[in-house]
Each structure stands twice: as structure tokens, then as C-alpha cells.
Amino acid sequence: MVSQSNGTPATPFKFLIYGRTGWIGGLLGKLCDAQGIEYTYGSGRLESRDTLIADITAVNPTHVFNAAGVTGRPNVDWCESHKVETIRTNVVGTLTLADVCREKGLILINYATGCIFEYDSEHQLGSGVGFKEEDTPNFVGSYYSKTKAMVEELLKNYENVCTLRVRMPISSDLTNPRNFITKISRYEKVVDIPNSMTILDELLPISIEMAKRNLTGIYNFTNPGCVSHNEVLELYKEYIDSSYTWKNFTLEEQAKVIIAQRSNNELDTTKLKKEFPELLSIKESLVKFVFEPNRKTPVVA
């Protein structure tokens, strides 16, 4: 533990973060700055074991965070035609990092995806019955999701890994093109299906706390409950742009304009809520962390 010159102990944490140029990786750095946590961005390639070992040797971290990965640009359709590149990062790279961390006795906080499930007869849309951490993935509609399900299954064998299933991430930065709200507000047409979603402003600080608590295993990393596309856009209209309008289309119509299918599901957040009882429901979190701070419309008396 590093001590400050006045004799007061400094924070004992030192984070090594992968994914500097990514959305979540960038936000993690800002959160560490705000909390006074020492951190370094990894320079090694995930699939290159020697470079990861060099990073860990140089930094000597207490925890490692993996926010790197291939999601595809502009979207997951890219992965359908770049399968080897997707495997290299999402499977080989993630496994290599987990293995190196285990060898070094380090916990790895791995930002994964919950887009590995789709509503089925036992988890029906609108039923409130969500997929649990131990459920077997049932969505194979996109190659991106297939690789994520593959690696999650393999990571179950690594007792040093904390897998966080993120879904349809949202933040208060409504200019970010990766933001779910920003994406759907710019679409010509949107489907309208209730889904579990992740409010990063609330949940990323929780992921740092999970590292501090040395939590491992799989966690559904979304806010409790579901919200539909239309409900999100109605809030957008109420708080941001009262003149905003949108059109819906069906899943069948959507399928004609995308290459890979999209996952729709509800995740059960009982496990995360038990560890963090203060966690807000998705609709409460949307208002508190995203729409209220960005309000552009006048407050109705």
C-alpha cells in the first residue's frame, strides 16, 4: 500500500483497465479520477499473452477490468462478415486475459453482455419472469451473441472472474452514438419491445464497488425491470424535445433491414439487488440519471 507524504494511507487500489478507446473503458477512467483511485490503461493486445503479462508486471494492479471487445461498427451486423476478428477479441482475447489474471492471482471484472437470451415460453414478454445468472443462453441470432455465450460458458471455470451482463447501455451523454437512447432517437423506425437495460451512470460505480468487495461469478448487470423503446422515447419527448416524433415497425419489418437478429429479453436482477439494495428500477434510473440532468423542456407546474 502506498502512503502519502503526510502519513495518511492512500487508497490501496490500483486498477489495470483494458478498453481505453471504448465507451465503458473511458467512463471507468473518469470514475477512477473522481474517486481518487490509481489506474492505468493496458497497452497489450488481449490475444497476446506476453503483452498482458508485461502490463501486469509493470503496473502491479490489485484488480483488472476488461472493457475491450468487438461489438462491430456501426453495429453487430459487422460481426457477421468478420467472424475471425470477432473470435480473436471476444473469445481468445477475453480467455487469455482471464487465464493470465488467474495465474497472477488477480480478480478480473469482465463487462460482458446479456444479449445472449431471448423471450421464450418460460420467460414470456411482459411476464416479469427474467433470465437468471445460471440459465443457459438461448439466443443464437447473431454471431456477436454466439461468441459472447461461448466465452461466458468457458469463463465459469475461472473462479477469479466477475462477469457483468450489460444490456442496451444508456448514459447521461446523449451525444454518444453508442448510447441506446441516441441510437433509437435517430432511427427512422423503431420496434417497441420491453427490455432490460443498463444505466451506466448508476451501474459503473457499482462495478467498481464490486471489485473492491472482490465479488466473482456472473451477475445480470441491468437495472431491475423492463422498459420499452416507446417508453424511452416518450421520456425523450417529455424531457428533451417536445416536438419529437417517431414511427414503429414490427420485428418482421425490422428483419428486412438488418443482417443479424437482435436479442430481446428481461434479466432477473435479484442477485445484484441483494448485494446493492439501493439499485433503482430502470424507469427511476432513467429519470434520475439521464433525463432530469439533460432536461431541455420547461417543467410543467
Show the cell assigned to 53: 503479462
Q: Which three cell numbers stand for residue 131?
A: 433470465
Quickly count: other Cβ atoms within 10 Å of residue 234's Cβ: 13
Q: How many CB atoms lie within 10 A of CB 256?
A: 7
Which amino acid belongs to residue 224?
P
- Name the DSSP letter for residue 286: I
Helix (H, G, I), strand (E, B) or coil at 69: coil
**Neighbouring residues of 188: CB distance < 8 A, sequence distance ≥ 6:** 247
Q: Are the CB atoms for 96 and 47 separated by under 8 Å?
A: yes
Pair 180, 168: CB distance under 8 Å: yes
DSSP alpha helices (H): ranges in the chain?
23-35, 49-59, 77-80, 83-87, 94-103, 143-155, 180-186, 200-212, 229-239, 251-255, 270-275, 282-285
Q: What is the pLDDT along the chain (301 residues), one digit of tens a residue?
A: 333 344 444 559 999 999 999 999 999 999 999 999 999 999 999 999 999 999 999 999 999 999 997 776 767 788 888 999 999 999 999 999 999 999 999 999 999 999 999 999 999 999 999 999 999 999 988 898 999 999 999 999 999 999 999 999 999 999 999 999 999 999 889 999 999 999 999 999 999 999 999 999 999 999 999 999 999 999 999 999 999 999 998 888 787 876 677 889 999 999 999 999 999 999 999 999 999 999 999 987 6
